[in-house]
């Protein structure tokens, strides 16, 4: 038996294992594909294949398509080296669906990054629950905008103990993210309206304007003429606090 026949036998043995992919109508075996339509919207399967493609690119580049978006083997055309690489890769995948844990972690991070705009918008929606019910609307808007604009993947990871990509997308808790974010924001700067109508921003843990005065608890305080100016100052302080949160 020659080398190609030996390799083809090993490939067939790998294809007979329980979790092996079935060849398509042309006999081509698709090992992994970065194609949302191929996975019929299953985000978990797509993330897994993206991770495995990164690993296959390093360990068995002969299986990769020219654009790097898929790994496959055509048993009718492949040489012995490619058939052996495919058999080895399929056997590894049958034993464990993740070829490289680090590659999977990177792919999962990318999945959260792709969903970050939605996550941030959802978390911003929950921000009101952690603000005082008397908070003026411009100030509440500033809080929502700060979360929507400054939230990062690491903020999501910080507040999501069990994170993973499910079939319908990444798993996160928007309410928990909002709780943590608003807590960080309010430790940095808070708003109050004085009896004489001033709109004050107190800066216990955030850089204050140079012309701020000292408050009764020794924190800098800056008065503003209206809620809009105060909200703009709070937005700046709060986005800065969120950026420093996981720095």
Give the pLDDT confidence of 78-95 residue by residue, as tens digits.
Answer: 999 999 999 999 999 999
Whether 140 contacts 91, CB under 8 Å: no
* Predicted confidence (pLDDT) at residue 195 exceeds the cutoff of 70: no
Domain-located, residue 160: yes
Overall average pLDDT of the 3-21 stretch = 94
Domain-located, residue 139: yes
Domain-located, residue 233: yes
Q: Are residues 128 and 240 in the same domain?
A: yes
Model pLDDT, residue 52: 97
Domain-located, residue 61: yes
Q: Are residues 94 and 139 in the same domain?
A: no
Domain-located, residue 110: no
Domain-located, residue 10: yes
Q: Are residues 139 and 203 in the same domain?
A: yes
Q: Are residues 29 and 124 in the same domain?
A: no
Model pLDDT, residue 1: 57
Domains held by the chain: number = 2
Q: Which of 43, 70, 105 finishes a domain?
A: 105
Q: Which of 74, 105, 136 finishes a domain?
A: 105
pLDDT band at 223 (very low <50, low <70, confident <90, very high): confident
Q: Are residues 147 and 240 in the same domain?
A: yes
SS3 208: coil
Q: Which of 52, 76, 105 finishes a domain?
A: 105
Q: Which of 108, 111, 151 is nearest to 127 (CA)?
A: 151
Model pLDDT, residue 216: 61
d(CA 239, CA 53): 36
For residue 57, the enclosing domain spans: 3-105
d(CA 106, CA 102): 6
SS3 49: helix
């Amino acid at each position: 038996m020659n080398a190609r026949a030996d390799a083809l036998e090993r490939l067939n043995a790998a294809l007979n294992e329980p979790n092996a992919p079935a060849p398509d109508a042309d006999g081509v075996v698709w090992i992994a594909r970065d194609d949302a339509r191929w996975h019929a919207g299953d985000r978990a399967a797509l993330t897994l294949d993206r991770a495995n493609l990164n690993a296959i690119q390093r360990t068995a580049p002969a299986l990769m398509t020219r654009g790097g978006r898929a790994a496959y083997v055509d048993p009718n055309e492949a040489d012995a080296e490619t058939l052996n690489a495919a058999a080895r890769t399929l056997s590894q995948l049958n034993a464990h669906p993740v070829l490289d844990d680090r590659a999977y972690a990177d792919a999962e991070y990318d999945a959260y990054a792709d969903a970050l705009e939605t996550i941030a918008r959802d978390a911003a929606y929950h921000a009101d629950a952690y603000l005082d019910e008397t908070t003026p609307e411009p100030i509440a808007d500033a809080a929502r905008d700060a979360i929507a604009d400054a939230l990062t993947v690491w903020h999501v990871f910080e507040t999501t103990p069990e994170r993973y990509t499910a079939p319908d997308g990444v798993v996160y808790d928007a309410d928990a993210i909002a709780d943590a974010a608003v807590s960080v924001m309010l430790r940095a700067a808070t708003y109050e309206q004085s009896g004489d109508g001033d709109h004050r921003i107190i800066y216990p843990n955030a850089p204050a304007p140079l012309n701020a005065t000292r408050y009764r608890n020794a924190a800098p305080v800056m008065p503003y003429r209206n809620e809009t100016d105060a909200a703009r100052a709070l937005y700046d302080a709060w986005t800065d606090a969120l950026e420093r949160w996981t720095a």
